[in-house]
Structure 1
Amino acid sequence: MQNKKILIILGHPNPNSYCAKLADSYFRAAESSGHEVQLLKLKELKFDYNLNFGYDKTIKQELEPDILMSQTLIQNADHLVFVYPSWWASMPAILKAWIDRVFLPGFAFSYQKHSPLPKQLLKGKTARIIITMDAPTWYYKWFNRSPGVQLLKQGTLEFCGFKKVKVTYFDQIRFRKLNKLEQFILKTAKLGAMGA
């Protein structure tokens, strides 16, 4: 198994959340297996949550140091791991804000003059989405149609050139007994050890 450069993005604002435990489990297992791994806790970053002028080139919005650092970490990574809860079938505001500010034209993609399709600037990278929810997975997938996953997987990562984006669902968190929650943590550690 080839070692990878892995960036974990923790999209839960609570540093003591179950998502934080999952991210830490992945991090420790990946590091122990020889992967070069970094854990980015979005709650610790300082940046304006709003893309104030959209993609208007005539008005420049300053990129804060933490946004520039995030872009550098993404550029240097082979594999990104997103860990976040499903809130209202999507993602926490902090994660959506970070995506809006980081995955910009010129960094993640660029418009092409004679094509409606973008030039993908993050080609060759892979990703894993680890999403927790209180609903059953079948309900999220079949009734809600996985809006948060679709937004991140197809609407962002694959749009920018990621070639393989896999999803791990941990459902009914509110109702799970401790031993089941521990099993989810162990499963996450296995993914980390494999760099998957």
Structure 2
Amino acid sequence: MRTLLLDGHPRAGALSSHLLDIYQAGLPGVTDRVALADLAFAETAIRSYAAVPEWEPDLADLWQRIWAADHLVLAFPLWWGDTPARLSGLFERLFLPQRAFAYHRDDPWWERGLAGRSADLLITMDTPPLWLRLAWRAPIVHRMRHQVLGFVGFKPVRAFLFGPTRRGGAERNLPRWEARVARAAQSAPGLRRGARHAALQDP
């Protein structure tokens, strides 16, 4: 199994990065790692899909790494109920029509260009995870599982929620969180992935 770890925190060295360290230590096979903080790209460059700008070198390189991966591990903080703006911008720039997905001409469905890959989400937050699920029904999990990663073919998409991080929560709970991340890494090779599709365009 080839795994890509993507640190989706805009700042290097955050809790997201530490959780990825733990995940990476428990992984068999080949691992690759990229940090959002190290990528140079314009996250607001798209105004219309009718005129999509060329990828910067870092985006072209990241696409190749995603294409080569069997499993994606994405770690990020929950900010205002969503991914950080720069991470959302990365999805906009990277998951393009006719490359990451392609609508059918004669029905409402679409081809998922990244089918055959699984993903794990490591989401840190100030909100208690139980409250996020019971009171708000964890919209970030539904969005990522169905409208972002699932939309382009990642399946299954598992979500691991870590919080609250404030008022010493991260320090008190870190050993338990680390153990949970290690278990996720150990179980990742056993995930059932579907068949890969041919590239919609040359990857």
State the TM-score, normalized to the length of structure 2. Answer: 0.86
* 1:183 aligned to which of 176, 188, 199: 176
Q: Which amino acid aligns with 1:183?
A: R
State the match for 1:139 in structure 2.
131
Q: Which amino acid aligns with 1:9?
A: L
Equivalent residues of 2:46, 2:52 under 8 A apart: no
Give the count of matched residue pairs: 188
State the match for 1:20 in structure 2.
17
Q: Which runs of 5+ in 1 are unaligned?
A: none
Could you tell me how far apart the structure 1 residues matched to 2:154 and 2:99 are? 13
State the match for 1:103 in structure 2.
95
Change (3 A) 1:51 1:150: farther
Equivalent residues of 1:126, 1:165 under 8 A apart: yes
Bigger shift: residues 183-192 or 68-77: 183-192
Q: Spell out the pairing of 1:112-127 with structure 2 (5 A cutoff).
A: 112-127=104-119
Change (3 A) 1:26 1:106: same
Q: Which amino acid aligns with 1:7?
A: L
State the match for 2:198 in structure 1.
none
Is structure 2 residue 75 aligned with structure 1 residue 83?
yes
Q: Which amino acid aligns with 1:12?
A: H
State the match for 1:45 in structure 2.
39
Could you tell me how far apart the structure 2 residues matched to 1:89 and 1:60 are? 28
State the match for 2:8 in structure 1.
11
State the match for 2:188 in structure 1.
195
Is structure 2 residue 59 aligned with structure 1 residue 67?
yes
CA deviations over 1:22-45 (Å, ceiling 9, x no partner) = 011112221xxx321111101100
SS of equivalent to 1:46: coil
State the TM-score, normalized to the length of structure 1. Answer: 0.89
Q: CA deviation at 1:143?
A: 2.3
SS of equivalent to 1:116: coil
CA deviations over 1:171-192 (Å, ceiling 9, x no partner) = 2111426342122123212322
Q: CA deviation at 1:53?
A: 2.7
Equivalent residues of 1:71, 1:102 under 8 A apart: yes
Q: Which amino acid aligns with 1:152?
A: M
* 2:163 aligned to which of 155, 162, 171: 171
